[in-house]
Structure 1
Amino acid sequence: MLNRRTFLQKTLAFGAAAAVSHLPARAAWANERDMRLFWFGSPGRAERTLAVARLFEGANPGVRILGEVGGNDYWSKLTTMLAGGNAPDIFQLEPGRFADYAGRGTMVPLDDYLGRTIRTDRLLPGTMKLGTVAGKVAGLPLSNNAFALLYDTEAFEKTGLTPPGRGTTWDDFARLCIEMTKALGKKGVWAVGNAARYSYALEAFLVQRGKRLYGEDGQIGFDVEDATDWYGYWESLAANGGCVSAEVQALDKNQIDSNPMSRGHAVMAIAFSNMLVAYQALQKNPVGITNLPVSEVGGRSGLFYRAGLHFGIARNAPDPELAAKFLDFFINDVEAGKILGVERGVPINLDVRTAVAPTLDDVQKRSFDYVESIADFVGDFPAQVPVGASELEDRVYRTVADRLAFGQISAAEAGQELVSAAQAILSR
């Protein structure tokens, strides 16, 4: 028997007897108003997404949304479907891979639908920049979020240590992590995961230095010294017991449920603000949220608002106008917004944001309030992640950091390796 979690990881379809994953390019029985929707995320996200789809169906008689949830194989599955001409009408992308898929011409540009089918007059100013690649709006940002540090509040209460906050520097954070691991006194439990492999954590570190992970020219925005300093920080923290062992970190598949905090090996996690909801669902203790450490008190925060996620319309979608109508509904309908809450991030429609705020539960409100509270602490929107960035995510960031954690290379060698690999990939 399938439990709730397993069921929601499977293909979900409204009124459809067959699993979407087994559909041919267009099933013979499919209604011409059927539309396939593909996303990844937690069971809670699935429930919210499906509820919005039902709401859309109710407002559009004859339309049926066929929903499919992807797991750890999401990206390989999506790539295979796109290559085989069997792409879902609408699919979800995250910012680190968005430009790659746009660059391959897999999505219908949305420019002709903006202001017409997709209303933009009440969206947060500048939001469409987050969906723009090579001068075209390739996909629709669904929300805003920001980098965040999540922590087990009871762990800090029991140890008597003070949680990090706006004035916590990276040096302060290192000392805190070492103290926390010692104070916990539990074998196999550390203060935090090893974030050397997370490109988004590196980006915050770089922005604090006045640099970027990627520049407007589509190349990396940092040098070997920056990368070496980053790797050196985590190498030292690991050596002093402040972050998890290499063996534990290697089990992290960059999914919430595989993060060391979710598996009980850490009491803090460097993540994104909207992930608080899903992290809390896996924790018995209340999870707090704050900003990442800073290079210096009063300096740049390293924070900026980013697209929580995107939806793109497949290039071969038979009815892109209907798909665009669904995207409009997803971000602009107040009732849809109340269902979605802040699980994907804070709504980008200002009216929806106002309507949603009073409906949030305590956990969602913590995420929402955090994004609102850093308004005076964030910098400009970053340059769009370039084509080739997903290859760096898949083959370089994690690999280099893991080799460092296992002692196979030094921090200096890791820094040189990252920069060389990035330059080679992004210059193709």
Structure 2
Amino acid sequence: MNPSTTPAASARSHRPLTRRAFAAGLAGTAAATGLAACGGGGSGATEGNASLRFTWWGSDTRHQLTDRAIKAFEAENTDVTVKGEFTEWSGYWDRLATTVAANDAPDVIQMDVLQLRSYADRGALLDLVDTEIDTGSIPSDTLDTGRTADGLFAVPVGVNAHVVVANPALFEAAGVPLPDDTTWTWQEAADIALRISQSGQPDVHGWQTMGLDEASLQLWVSQLGGEFYGDGTEVTLDPAHVASWWEYNLGTVQAGAAAPATLAVERQAGGLSQSGTATGTAAMAVWWANQVTALSSAAGQEMVLLRPPLQEPGGSPGTFYKASMFWSISSRTQHPEAAARLVDWLTNSPEAAEILLTERGIPSDPERRELIGPLLQPSDAQSVEYVESLEDVVVPAPPAAPPGASTVQDLVTRYGSEVLFGRQTPQAAAEALVAELQNNVTSA
């Protein structure tokens, strides 16, 4: 699932950002004076003041918490006013592309890893290396997820990691013990799921079907030693890795260990709130660690967090610390110093940490995690503990995806549906997915 805490985010994909969409926004970059005159960040600013626009996607909870954070920042920085601009995930990227193309980009932008290169490579984001943003508390491998070959264009807000969220009540009702998550394999997980599905609990399946979810595929490929984008400039995804993943998931569906294809498609479209985990009808599912609070709340059931199964005993866990999202600054802001001050405050201020908690992911800075620990709900504290437990086994995070790759979730859902409904073989669908993804990247 998508690492955003917006409930419906997992069901939606990004529209690719084309060169045409950027053409108007990036034309005349050399004319610095002209760009400053029509940039969107500082409209209405007066001498000695800065008026910033700050955009993000998210749920009502995120909006409320961010509004509190803005007010706290303004109280400490009386020469800066901040206007929040927020929307749901589904319309966020079209809106941002439109404002960038119109030279009206917000000053501070909540950024996603699938869109970072699309904006950075085309000059829409400020290189943060020379700003006053203090990134010293962010681990270097995490900070590098915001870099491209040309500079640092995004500061990670927090980190996430793949996790299997298990419903202990469904395990207990089935008379099945929770597995040893340090040694179990995918085959053992499928066997456990089948026992739960056959336990007589109405509408309950052991696995939530994964064949439509790009994040689960990403984990599987990482465990096999593969990668989606190599050095971040081309598609290096091996169709054989994708095919083996669909073969596994198709097998769980056909055996009854996972929900049937029709139900899987409905749940994917319905987002987090309609998932098998949230509705108490799937005993296990792959999620991102910071989603456990929303899942527990929706299900009315405390969950158990397990490390994902292995390909084989002693195999690579494949898990990595993924930046949950980023802060970026428009290259056209009229107030780069004030914008950097806001990002620095969001990144380093104890007050910001205490307001936002884990809403945008688990803080990458151990000191911030320790600071907010006493303030967390039990499920949030559980996700923090889980992420920290992976420190000795995580592999390096993959590079930011190239422009055009933001279509990947849509492709996985579309071709995955073909496989689960038996309209294409796993191998044929895998080859078609990789070819289309490469075409999208090449033509972006």
Q: Which of 172, 178, 188 is the aligned partner of 2:194?
A: 178
Partners of 1:275 and 1:343 within 8 A in 2: no
Instruction: Spell out, residue by residue over 1:115-146, the C-alpha distance to the aligned partner (whole angstroms, 9 max, x if none).
Output: xx211222223332110022311111111111
C-alpha displacement of 1:333: 0.8
Partners of 2:41 and 2:334 within 8 A in 1: no
Where 1:282 maps in the other structure, the secondary structure is helix
CA distance in 2 between partners of 1:36 and 1:197 (Å): 36
**Change over 3 Å in CA distance of 1:158–1:347 after alignment to 2:** same
Where 2:84 maps in the other structure, the secondary structure is strand
Asked if 1:222 is matched to 2:237, the reply is yes
* Counterpart residue number, 1:168: 184
CA distance in 2 between partners of 1:281 and 1:68 (Å): 27
**Change over 3 Å in CA distance of 1:28–1:207 after alignment to 2:** closer
Partners of 2:40 and 2:106 within 8 A in 1: no
**Change over 3 Å in CA distance of 1:104–1:26 after alignment to 2:** closer
Bigger RCO (CA 8 Å, 6+ sep)? 2
Q: Which of 119, 126, 148 is the aligned partner of 2:141?
A: 126
Aligned runs of 1:357-376 on 2, under 5 Å? 357-376=373-392
Asked if 1:213 is matched to 2:228, the reply is yes
* Counterpart residue number, 2:117: 99
Instruction: Spell out, residue by residue over 1:209-253, the C-alpha distance to the aligned partner (whole angstroms, 9 max, x if none).
Output: 122222115233332221211111111111112222322332324
Asked if 1:257 is matched to 2:273, the reply is yes
**Change over 3 Å in CA distance of 1:256–1:36 after alignment to 2:** farther
C-alpha displacement of 1:68: 3.0
Asked if 1:112 is matched to 2:130, the reply is yes
Where 1:67 maps in the other structure, the secondary structure is strand
Aligned runs of 1:302-313 on 2, under 5 Å? 302-313=318-329
Unaligned runs of 5+ in 1: 6-23
Letter in 2 for 1:158: A
Partners of 1:331 and 1:347 within 8 A in 2: no
Aligned runs of 1:2-401 on 2, under 5 Å? 33-71=50-88, 72-113=90-131, 117-164=132-179, 165-183=181-199, 185-187=201-203, 189-216=204-231, 218-251=233-266, 252-253=268-269, 255-394=271-410, 396-401=411-416
Letter in 2 for 1:79: A
Deviates more, 1:383-392 or 1:282-291: 383-392
Instruction: Spell out, residue by residue over 1:255-303, the C-alpha distance to the aligned partner (whole angstroms, 9 max, x if none).
Output: 4334342345434331111112222232201122122211012210010
Instruction: Spell out, residue by residue over 1:348-395, the C-alpha distance to the aligned partner (whole angstroms, 9 max, x if none).
Output: 23332332223322111101000111111211232332222102333x
* Counterpart residue number, 2:418: 403
Kindly report the root-mean-square deviation, in angstroms, between the aligned alpha carbons of the 2 structures: 2.5
CA distance in 2 between partners of 1:309 and 1:247 (Å): 31
**Change over 3 Å in CA distance of 1:144–1:155 after alignment to 2:** same
Where 1:69 maps in the other structure, the secondary structure is strand
Partners of 1:44 and 1:278 within 8 A in 2: no
Partners of 1:253 and 1:259 within 8 A in 2: no
**Change over 3 Å in CA distance of 1:184–1:60 after alignment to 2:** farther
**Change over 3 Å in CA distance of 1:336–1:343 after alignment to 2:** same
Letter in 2 for 1:299: G
C-alpha displacement of 1:162: 2.5
CA distance in 1 between partners of 2:58 and 2:175 (Å): 34
Where 1:300 maps in the other structure, the secondary structure is coil
CA distance in 1 between partners of 2:141 and 2:186 (Å): 31
TM-score in terms of structure 1 length: 0.86
Where 1:51 maps in the other structure, the secondary structure is helix
Partners of 1:248 and 1:260 within 8 A in 2: no
C-alpha displacement of 1:39: 1.7
Partners of 2:51 and 2:82 within 8 A in 1: yes
Instruction: Spell out, residue by residue over 1:90-128, the C-alpha distance to the aligned partner (whole angstroms, 9 max, x if none).
Output: 222222332223223321121111xxx211222223332
CA distance in 1 between partners of 2:172 and 2:299 (Å): 16
TM-score in terms of structure 2 length: 0.83
C-alpha displacement of 1:29: 6.7
CA distance in 2 between partners of 1:88 and 1:260 (Å): 37
CA distance in 2 between partners of 1:25 and 1:271 (Å): 37
Partners of 2:174 and 2:195 within 8 A in 1: no
Instruction: Spell out, residue by residue over 1:318-345, the C-alpha distance to the aligned partner (whole angstroms, 9 max, x if none).
Output: 2122111111111111121122222222
CA distance in 2 between partners of 1:302 and 1:287 (Å): 22
Q: How many residues align?
A: 401
**Change over 3 Å in CA distance of 1:87–1:253 after alignment to 2:** farther
Letter in 1 for 2:262: E
Letter in 2 for 1:155: L
Letter in 2 for 1:139: A
* Counterpart residue number, 2:24: none
Letter in 1 for 2:106: P
Unaligned runs of 5+ in 2: 1-5, 7-38
